[in-house]
Structure 1
């Protein structure tokens, strides 16, 4: 009996120790969670985690051997900036593009090198905004990510507006949305489905529903502007054309207000829907990144990277016609297909990597979040900036581009409506993107002439019917 009591007491003691251990483990998890979401920590968004998948830890062993402290700090910063990414092999394209421009090496080569150079720079901007967010708190960090998340597209749009290339602005922005909704999301669902054939891929529909609603609002603004132009009678002349321009500017203001409401929804009231959920028990979980740069250093590097992106963006805009002639591709195809694929390759690769790991919430956050940001922030902001510059840019993105945008949003919304995924859904999205790409490839008519041809044909048909 005494032995039995001793045995029972030992089991009770072991159970108590296990309970205490579990409690301590749970407490540690809660402390880590609170550290990540309160104080100066920041909840990791899908964009943060997607970009971090392309980073690598720098080996600072040689740098630490430098005796002079200021020089050691500068070298450490340089190593973190230029060698802290898996895309560091593309950095030589930046000086090569500048040299090609300086020595007039060839306009098509300048375009290609500039486009390649923008790829690692876009990833580094994401890294630097995340570093700054470590010091500013979650709200300011979220605003930084929202502003700089598509800095490349925004800067290219500004330079194209400055040079009066409105068609390039429209095509590149529509192409970015199509790329995110069909190519990135399609590739992610397809690859993730093949890699997880024996697992059911699930995701939270709430985030997808929010982004789909905003994307439909953006398409509505484009459709109304397009229909309004087609409803104009030839006798009404330029007055109604200016009315269509005023309608576009009013819609742009409404879209910006909707984006501000979306940011408040994302960063304040429903923050939990947009923060990437990390599974701490899994080996492939992405760790919380500690700041490796000081606030002043990160801010200075961010300004420098933005200036370099601006220089390369000017090269891209100035040489796109030459690249079109040299490669035998239309400007619309290069703007809609080539620019978004190469310019956002880093972010796209991160989304696919997390789809392989069966973390579709992060993938959806990257693809849908980026498409929403372009549709509701970059496009209306471009219209407002063009208004200030005296450039007549409206929301009429031509019939073909607008219909492609509508189809992409509707197909994506239907694909994501049940909260589950498999590889066939991704394949359908990829095939939709391939069909649209083929359409723009065979389209040789300059984008600014397409609407005029269609409009004149519709008016001629209506006059024939009336007669």
Structure 2
């Protein structure tokens, strides 16, 4: 049959090719998940490059040769290794008291390759621990950068930075990452109907809606209660109870993914040869500890210099925290998601965006509230009216976008433009952190400041 002259034949051919590509996407994703890897790991892996063992094979001493081989895999095994020099430059800038905006910028750049390398190292450990422990490890460390920044911001009592940065991570994943992935994937495959598995999207959407409810209740409770002095206490108690519920829901989701409904992810097998660990368990563990310490140092620099950078650049703290931090911190993961969308493998792209957003919303945010509780810091889930409104519309728009299991570039354009509008909103939102405001006639500080 001549496909050039038979329209029905051409449609059948496109459908068959689409099924094959979707099958490859599921197969690749299932192969990874069967080893305890998440879609974030699979996405980040596309930016990795294989090292040449010849470079270190001529070293005579075994221990030195092994150390150099690990160093080559960890430092030079990523395509964004060019950003690693920003780490010593940031430390030097702090030691020699360079301008604080320079410290902030260099620290922010240094976090990008570190976040990708943490994903690589947790994946290496998962080869030795098995899929269940590996999955738990990846589920915990998937957003390690955001969690560490939040913990250091809590230690310095900068609750507004915690809330802004975590909110920005959710918005970035749902609008920027998912939007650009759908846009680029739709343009690259404009003559093909792009499809994806709705099962994971539906579960993640439910988790995000539950998280949104837990954010809305303290906000609505504060406005419904008027100006009573006990409102802040009850809002805080409600937030802590809601945080515990969110953590329980996240644990249930991990159990759902790794145990009871694991067959949804392991239903297909890949005939390709299984990948092997390139670093030993203790080597990977040591590097992971070292990388985490460096992330902690740079995170402290970022939190400590964010106001100075805001004053120097004339950009609000809210814009830096909500827009710049998530973009730079997860650059490798985001780039991988877009590349997979180009290859018409939307299941991985959606897994990256929705999985990361759900992890921030249902794990990192409530964990920050619980940690603040143990530290004696009053952090609640009231992100104020503007921030919570942006979160609500983002989740609703994303849910509508993913409801039919198909995609095209117009959906990506809408999500991306939503992100641009929200970014413009926070760019002009230049209320000083120390300034109290009156919200809707309520005589108290703004929701962010009251945390």
Question: Above 0.5 in TM-score?
Answer: yes
Mapping for residues 2-401 of structure 1, pairs under 5 Å: 42=35, 44-234=37-227, 236-237=228-229, 239-274=230-265, 288-401=274-387
**Cα deviation per residue 1:43-71 (whole Å; 9 max; x = unaligned)?**
54312210110000001102001111111
Q: SS at the partner of 2:320? A: helix
Alignment check: 8 A CA contact 1:183 1:429 kept: yes
1:418 matched to 2:411? The reply is: no
Contact 1:161 1:169 in 2 (8 A): yes
TM-aligned CA deviation for residue 458 of structure 1: 8.7
Contact 2:37 2:134 in 1 (8 A): no
- Whether the aligned pair in 2 keeps the contact of 1:58 and 1:83 (CA below 8 Å) is yes
Do the aligned partners of residues 68 and 90 (structure 1) sit closer, same or farther apart at CA in structure 2, a change above 3 Å counting?
same
TM-score, normalised relative to structure 1: 0.86
Cα distance in 2 between the residues matched to 1:195 and 1:182 = 19
Contact kept in structure 2, 1:45 and 1:274, CA below 8 Å: no
Three-state SS of the structure 2 residue aligned to 1:85 is: coil
Contact 1:404 1:436 in 2 (8 A): yes
Given the superposition, is the C-alpha separation of residues 37 and 365 from structure 1 closer, same or farther in structure 2, using an over 3 Å criterion?
Answer: closer
**Between structures 1 and 2, the one with greater helix share:** 1
Structure 1 CA distance for aligned equivalents of residues 354 and 430 of structure 2: 30
Change in Cα spacing, 1:86 to 1:288, as seen in structure 2 (3 Å) is: farther
Measure, in 1, the Cα distance between the counterparts of 2:93 and 2:265.
42
Question: Conserved in 1, the CA contact under 8 Å of 2:175 and 2:416?
Answer: yes
CA distance in 2, matches of 1:319, 1:49: 33
| C-alpha contact (below 8 Å) 2:174/2:394 kept by paired residues | yes
Cα pair 1:330 1:444 within 8 Å, conserved: yes
The alpha-carbon deviation at position 297 of structure 1 amounts to 0.4
Deviation at 1:270, TM superposition (A): 1.6
Larger Rg: 1
* Separation of aligned partners in 2, 1:446 and 1:297: 46
- Alignment deviations for residues 388-408 of structure 1 (CA, whole Å, 9 cap, x no partner): 001100000011010000000
Q: Say whether 1:405 aligns with 2:398.
A: no
Cα pair distance change 1:173/1:382, threshold 3 Å: same
Q: Is the 8 A contact 1:219 1:406 kept in 2?
A: yes
Once the two structures are TM-superposed, the CA of residue 290 in structure 1 deviates from its matched residue by: 1.0
CA deviation string 1:223-270 (max 9, x = no partner): 111011112232x31x22111100000000000000000000011112
Q: How many equivalent pairs are there?
A: 418
Measure how far apart 1:137 and its partner are.
0.4
State the 1:457 CA deviation: 6.0
User: Is residue 43–residue 275 contact of structure 1 (8 Å, CA) maintained in 2?
Assistant: no
Q: Which residue of 2 aligns with 1:29?
A: none
> Per-residue displacement from partner, 1:183-217 (whole Å, max 9, x unpaired)?
00000000000000111100001110000000000
RMSD between aligned residues: 2.2
Q: Would you say the 8 A contact 2:70–2:279 is kept in 1?
A: yes
Contact 1:36-1:43 within 8 A present in 2 as well: no
Counterparts of 2:440 and 2:145, CA distance in 1 = 33
CA distance in 1, matches of 2:116, 2:358: 19
